[in-house]
Structure 1
Amino acid sequence: MGGWNTADMPDQSGRIIIVTGATSGLGEATARALAAAGAQVIMACRNEIKAQAAARTMPGDVQIRQLDLADLNSVRAFADTVERADVLINNAGVMAVPKLATADGFEMQIGTNYLGHFALTGLLLDRISQRVVNTSSITHVIGRIDLEDLNWERRAYSRFGAYAQSKLALLLFTYELQRRLTLTGSDKLSVAAHPGYAATEISSETQNLLEQIVGLGNRLIAQSADMGALPTLYAATAEVEPGAYYGPDWFNWRGHPTKVGSTAASHDEKTARQLWELSERLTGVQFRV
């Protein structure tokens, strides 16, 4: 697997792939590479003007559809437009923002990064033929799932704590979805990926002095969005293991895709089941798995 890049990606002709958050950064790089490889790419984006600008730079068959993961009505409306797809890439996200609420009253990061994607996956799963790819983060290692206060209503709010919780939730979801798919005999795959440390717009939206530190790190350490997208592209197109997690091969920070590990907390099956049940209650979306 060492050195895998877009030149090694199989021909994607005939595949329909949904990419959330495809207007910039990792999502845009992912969508562009898939379109160049022949896939029909559905860019699921909140900002249609930015999506149109990004789409004009992409080759091949690219469609734009409106999706705001911070609004479950928007998630349902988008799902209604999808007849079928081969792959769903849950990429969109916000990072370390001030305490805000989604349209449904969820804390913004758990609501956008996790609950919105949970609902989207549940609504589309019977129309996804091959695999679901969730974009997590190395920051999941500091994440803690508080099932009694998922939306930070009683805890002192922590921007990075909330971000890390959302990314840990995505891993718990990935592994639990694969367990349920396997139990039902489905050949669909649930896999996860992370970009390592990639310089993208999401890291410039923290809205505080930390932006200066992040900006310095982007210049000195971070890899490009194109490199950061490789683990997601690998997870979406290559021969992968069910329920596996892929990231950069150089200490999880940068490099080419490889299978990576995740924390014991991400493999806690009891927490995963409880989080799944809570997520179904919060979103009103019941999985047919």
Structure 2
Amino acid sequence: MVAWTAQDIPDQTGRTFVVTGANSGLGAETTRALAAAGARVVLACRDVAKGEKVAAELGDGVQVRRLDLADLDSVREFVDGLAASHEVVDVLINNAGVMAVPLRRTADGFEMQIGTNHLGHFALTALLLGRITDRVVTVSSAMHRIGRIDLDDLNWEHRRYDRWLAYGQSKLANLLFAYELQRRLTGRESPVRSLVVHPGYSSTNLQFRSETLYGKLMELSTPIIGQSPAMGALPSLYAATVPGVEPGGFYGPDSFFEMRGHPKRVQSSARSKDEDVASRLWTLSEKLCGVEMLSE
């Protein structure tokens, strides 16, 4: 198989993408590649000023809108803004995330990692799904393999907090959500597809925000070991643009234990395929976010 690159993205003229966390790292690289392929891209960013800097490089085909996934009011305002301008979205890329941060709470009281990485994107997808015509791409991580879903204490209110296990839980939640979304879309014979990806080990600023000695070590080693953000964005771009991707597929890098390389179909953990946990997490997420999405 010939290695797939951003130059292989089909012409995206006339198509609209929403990319969360598009102001830096993988999101910015994803946005640049989509814009280069002719797409119209909405940069959904908590930091609008940084988003504007990315947008300034790319011309008239992009726009920046504020979205703070750690605040459900902001999520609703973002979707209302798209609705008011009659935006139709071909592809939503749930890219934004935080990693291994100290115990903090979102505006709605959720643990910051599950709140941002999963619940914020769950609410966004639920509120936007009626405007999406093609697919939803959710960015997970190889770190989902250390994750466990605790449905009785999703927000770390009773357990002793562990930032890495909290991150793993949030990334496992991404996979459970993406797979369950596809099952429910299929059950309704919807043409919309749900895909999930992981970027391997990419050199971005995500790893540097854990505020620990380990984070400092990663800051030194990541530029050497990690692949570039442009390479890390390839699984997202592949899943978002290639016509023949399989509904419910999981894509990641093809080399060095999936840490680097070009996109290919990869496998996720057994826990990510637990349909009972996925269904129960879906119901809990609806309750916590105050939304309904393809409810049974």
Output the TM-score relative to the length of structure 1: 0.98
Residues 99 and 210, structure 2, Cα contact 8 Å, conserved in 1? yes
Equivalences for residues 187-202 of structure 1 within 5 A = 187-202=191-206
Work out which of the residue numbers 171, 177, 180 in structure 1 matches 2:181: 177
Q: Structure 1: where are the runs of 5+ without partners?
A: none
- C-alpha distance in structure 1 between counterparts of 2:199 and 2:122, whole Å: 20
- C-alpha distance in structure 1 between counterparts of 2:134 and 2:81, whole Å: 19
- C-alpha distance in structure 2 between counterparts of 1:81 and 1:60, whole Å: 19
The C-alpha deviation readout for 1:55-104, integer Å capped at 9, x for no partner, is 11224501000000000000000011223100000000011100000000
2:52 paired residue number:
52
How far did residue 2 of structure 1 move?
A: 3.9
Does residue 1:230 correspond to 2:223, yes or no?
no
Residues 17 and 42, structure 2, Cα contact 8 Å, conserved in 1? yes
Residues 203 and 227, structure 2, Cα contact 8 Å, conserved in 1? yes
Equivalences for residues 6-155 of structure 1 within 5 A = 6-59=6-59, 61-82=61-82, 83-155=87-159
2:248 paired residue number:
243
Output the TM-score relative to the length of structure 2: 0.96
How far did residue 139 of structure 1 move?
A: 0.1
Residues 207 and 218, structure 2, Cα contact 8 Å, conserved in 1? yes
1:253 paired residue number:
259
Q: How many correspondences in the alignment?
A: 289
Task: Give the secondary structure class of the aligned counterpart of 1:150.
Answer: coil
2:273 paired residue number:
267
2:214 paired residue number:
210
Task: Give the secondary structure class of the aligned counterpart of 1:80.
Answer: helix
- C-alpha distance in structure 1 between counterparts of 2:60 and 2:211, whole Å: 36
Task: Give the secondary structure class of the aligned counterpart of 2:30.
Answer: helix
The C-alpha deviation readout for 1:159-216, integer Å capped at 9, x for no partner, is 1111110000000000000000001111110000110000101111111111222123
- C-alpha distance in structure 2 between counterparts of 1:128 and 1:287, whole Å: 13
**AA at the equivalent of 1:255:** G
Q: Report the RMSD for the aligned CA atoms in angstroms.
A: 0.9
Q: 1:258 to 1:186 in 2, by over 3 A?
A: same
How far did residue 275 of structure 1 move?
A: 0.1
2:285 paired residue number:
279
- C-alpha distance in structure 2 between counterparts of 1:58 and 1:167, whole Å: 30
**AA at the equivalent of 2:262:** H
**AA at the equivalent of 1:244:** G
Residues 184 and 294, structure 2, Cα contact 8 Å, conserved in 1? no
- C-alpha distance in structure 1 between counterparts of 2:179 and 2:221, whole Å: 31
Residues 91 and 134, structure 1, Cα contact 8 Å, conserved in 2? yes
Q: Structure 2: where are the runs of 5+ without partners?
A: none
Q: What is the identity percentage for the equivalent residue pairs of Structure 1 and Structure 2? A: 59
